Chains A and B, each alone.
Chain A
């Protein structure tokens, strides 16, 4: 028998998690969960403009049942872990898929955001860890004392340090980039087909959602720095 055609040896098919499509579906679902969190988190944080009392009350409300809080946190942690695990595995696979690189390669249609997912992701992760250490744990809190329970104070004090605000703004912009592609990519990976015309609309929608979310978040450190929120 010739081998120049195809092998007859049959393999077991890769399962859901082994397939790139399966991993991307996992990333889409976990990404969706994380986006919902980002929206909720923003809506809560915007209460800072309503003054210390309501903001702190909101923070307290989040803690009204620790079991429930931890269930939600677990969901988020699992999502983050799966999202990263899938991304990391795909990244490795993608490196292997092109062992010899092009000497020259132009990007013709892809957005800057979509091409930078692999480094906007890790930076956002580092930011989230920093964020948790600063505002949830209170381990990093330069320039002032962390007061558990007085979230309003912690936020205002934290953002009063210019470089912390700068780091937040930078990271949030990257999160925006990540969301801009992620929101659209999620639909594709999960398998919600759209015609080419609708694709354009949806991509624009994804951009605006990302802009609005990030503008909302960034407004807080800026307000603190400019003294709007004291």
Chain B
């Protein structure tokens, strides 16, 4: 398939202005006659639904949680970037753009990223006006911190709960529209399929999670803002409910899935403590500003950390990357942690962990300073591990955190299915192969507040949308397929629980498609996943019925999709025989073990098309051009 990203011609600084000017507008009086379906109520979904409600569209917003405020955007801790240059340290739109493209290891689309940097300014203004209690200076001005190794202070934050506060801002804007009658909210409702009629996305089929009813919602456009798919690894920092189902079912209806193997592994998470573990907890990246990372020099050293003298400790990040030290980007820090643990030098009972030590910082600055900076994080660590990080070094280990891949979208955030728009983490567009810290919140809100409302309007104004109702044969077809899927899950009545399949899939993915990947391992994983999927459809057991609240059934449907997605991720990872960003292929590394990009052969977006349950996915390539950012090998030495 030929992919047209529809990037506006002309200088990048004016691209978005030009695009907006060229867009057709919907007559204000007609807007309420157009229904827009928004799936997901996180930063992207809630902001898009609220903004389109404000414009006057008839919006329906769906979330599987009991309230839109629960979406997993709420768990983001660190902050949100904006090129405000309030700190007068030389930041600019162009610098944020440049940093993001470089941080993404040159696998993102320049024009999209530039627009993201432009919108970052408006996002902060919008959020402040909504009452987000950002941290302030004594004089009343907004304050910033530097984050994730950036050389300028451009991160705005609200304690360690920035995501929560931004989401509540969007949620409140959404609830205001619910009150105004422009948005109808459907909580505890899961999208199970996309309805495509005459090549256009025209509706969705949902399941009411309380009553089990299947419902059809017809609309003029569908906005998917259903988040990322990190839960394919079972253990991740994602919420337990985060899933790929909405995106995956849209993919099976014709939307291409781009760069599925680009996942981000966050270096500072609390290590796994046992096989009952259900999820991983992130400790903010900001901890690396003052903590020093080390492991014992000796293999299998089981002494207590305070009994290991300084010269028997290996501060491996400081040793290998003298100029960035403990502040190297996430992918580099994660890979090195895995490396030392693979050598048998990991700490903790499982051997999968490294120390993040604050004793030097406490000595230098005093405990009160550390408490002021990280008190809430230390408390959380102590709550979970029962260890006092003021006295004993924290143990951390990398964990799956974010997925840069997602449904392919053009500059207008429209997928390959006309009328299906994808926003936030669910799309692939802005972060390339690695996302910088504090950029996810920015992208979600940029898409939702400032892009989707325009581009969806343009689509509605320029498309011929015939009247469709529930009785349309295509609608009935989709409903019966969804019904069939549910019935078959319930009727297998095998021996294994859904979670046991999910755990096994996660293990395969983590081992072979995690922090470092090889063609051989991926090949093996593909075979294993296929087998596992086969077993799933013969041997899974889903208790209960389909006509009431049945959490096992919900999980089963999601894991079924993960079992398909996992294979695609491995195929994509196998296909991309280069190392870039979070994707590290052992075959492609420099002499000293750093990631080696191959721009000649892989400077493209890999967009995969679904061709059927048993046939290989079809690859389409969108070549990436870099006119503004000079391509270089990333180095943090």
Binding site for B on A (CB under 8 A): 1-2, 4-6, 8
Contact = CB atoms under 8 A, between A and B. Distances in A.
A4 B181 contact: no
B189 interface: yes
A133 B119 CA distance: 77
A2 B210 CA distance: 14
Interface of B: 178, 181, 184-189, 208, 210, 215
Contacts of A6: 178, 185
B208 A5 contact: no
A53 B611 CA distance: 107
Contacts of B185: 5-6
18 contacts: A1-B184, A2-B184, A2-B186, A2-B215, A4-B186, A4-B187, A4-B188, A4-B189, A4-B208, A4-B210, A5-B178, A5-B184, A5-B185, A5-B186, A5-B187, A6-B178, A6-B185, A8-B181
Contacts of A5: 178, 184-187
Nearest to B61: A5
Contacts of B208: 4
Contacts of A4: 186-189, 208, 210
Contacts, number: 18
B575 to A, nearest CB: 43
Contacts of A8: 181
Nearest to B184: A5
A5 B189 CA distance: 10
A180 B215 CA distance: 56
A5 B49 CA distance: 15
Given A4-B208, A8-B181, 14 more contacts: A1-B184, A2-B184, A2-B186, A2-B215, A4-B186, A4-B187, A4-B188, A4-B189, A4-B210, A5-B178, A5-B184, A5-B186, A6-B178, A6-B185
A2 B178 CA distance: 13
Nearest to A8: B181
Query: Shortest 3 CB-CB distances between A and B: which pairs?
Result: A5-B185, A5-B184, A5-B186
Contacts of A1: 184
A187 to B, nearest CB: 26
A9 to B, nearest CB: 12
Contacts of B186: 2, 4-5
A5 B186 CA distance: 5
Contacts of B210: 4
B46 to A, nearest CB: 14
Contacts of A2: 184, 186, 215
Contacts of B189: 4
B33 to A, nearest CB: 15
A103 B185 CA distance: 35
A6 to B, nearest CB: 6
A4 B208 CA distance: 9
B216 to A, nearest CB: 11
A5 B184 CA distance: 7
Contacts of B215: 2
- The listed residue with most B CB atoms (<10 A of its CB), out of A1, A2, A4, A8, is A4
A13 to B, nearest CB: 13
A3 to B, nearest CB: 10
A55 to B, nearest CB: 60
A6 B189 CA distance: 14
A8 B188 CA distance: 19
Nearest to B188: A4
Contacts of B184: 1-2, 5
Contacts of B181: 8
B240 to A, nearest CB: 22
A45 B185 CA distance: 64
A199 B187 CA distance: 38
Nearest to A1: B184
A2 to B, nearest CB: 6
